[in-house]
Structure 1
């Protein structure tokens, strides 16, 4: 089964994985048990059925008569669901999720709509989050049970979820840990919402002085600046391998810098300076990783080499306990396996680039890992799954 996420109005090609259809081959494309397209190579027939399902695919299907690949154009939410291609030689399942994109500023609330006006007697509604599709909220109308599961995923949703009578989900006091994919499962099908949490690095000013010059820097590079006297307002999005391209918004009145569509590579130190003040911000954007209990995982440092003065630390948990450290100056590679009741004993290994491998994973190893290097600090959220929970998420 192949999972595919696509934005509304985009196109997607559901690949047959074939370079050429066999001479005697018949290929059938189905969507939610309805025939969408078919090929009979022997009879030289190539057919698309655009009028099925109330015509939701009309003028949107393109069938490649050489490979059998099906392209869907101008995607809408109602095109989410299961697609199946089959012939006597192969078959492939696709699950297509059409993303409804939303954004919210960190600290604000956001409501994810179910698009339902009322709930029916047999309805079972679930909200899932993240790559593992962890259930975070559920309504069972038959038993009149409204449930939010706030302690999953290291408690990042604790005291922040609220369900209403139509199944819509409100997230209060959002943080960057709440950004990601939300899957809503209802009687009408599945809908996926991509929630983007934007962060504003506030200057703390209500207005810039007339003669003031302000400069924003990240990793020792200037990324934005204001020269109020000359009326110049500039963002430098092409520095640092364009990692910040189309993501910076500079408030020309206050000097506040907003970063949108955050990724883990945007973690690090941001500095704001002017003639009258300076502020240092540490921004940590978590990367999510999953592993099954009993397996091993390598948490990458993102470094290709270590420099002479480097001091690298791996920390774990809410208390940020140091569990591993590299001091290049003294050539000392250390793992602290006896901390935290010895849960990491005989399980940690550091490599020459500062990456940390954890072997024979248990549930006690799930949580927040903080990497501190010369350039930045990165946070990794490690989710440990058993076999049954992985299957449920799929």
Structure 2
């Protein structure tokens, strides 16, 4: 008998106080631009029920149903015209095209012949996330003649004007590094070093509790040897054959000149010798 009485009292308190406890706050997360509905958990409002919605630390009235009449308090500057909808049957509140300035505490008061109850909703509105940008972390790049130990590509993934987000580097599905921030509108940057010939897939991910943005790394595009070194090597490959041919030609001409000169010198020496021989005979 006592057990049944305790169960009845507990059931009565629950019905009167509502689904939430007296200090319980339901957390709701939504993306800016979307719509969100805060539910009263009432199936049907009775004629003498009063449903009152309030917002913010000052508990500003924003919508009310009383004696089945609806008042949306359109003079409220925070929400403006036609942004709030109130369900006439359940009293649930819908906020359309919600903005970041609508983040805050929403309080619901239910007054009826069956009892009174209060509920609170903590709504957090997240702004759309930008796509992370991946750039080279250094303006210097190694040449093709650099040692293999220095052939690492320094990268930087960054985003600007973000709040309450995490920025992470992934190699495949493995998390490499991550940084989080809750401050307002700051710039986040996260470095990464990879090898120039790395064939693994890398991605930089920006996320908040309800959405994310991903930028995939193109190693071939961002991580390459210095363009001047590549151009110089290519130029050398084109010039070297011409230089070889030119040197061979110069050497051939030099040999021909030497040969002609040696022949002329030998002929001159022979003529001098014959002249001296004829002179001695006389």
* Larger helix fraction of residues: 2
* Larger strand fraction of residues: 1
- TM-score normalised over the length of structure 1: 0.34
RCO comparison, higher one (Cα < 8 Å, 6+): 2
* Larger Rg, first or second structure (1 or 2): 2
- TM-score normalised over the length of structure 2: 0.46
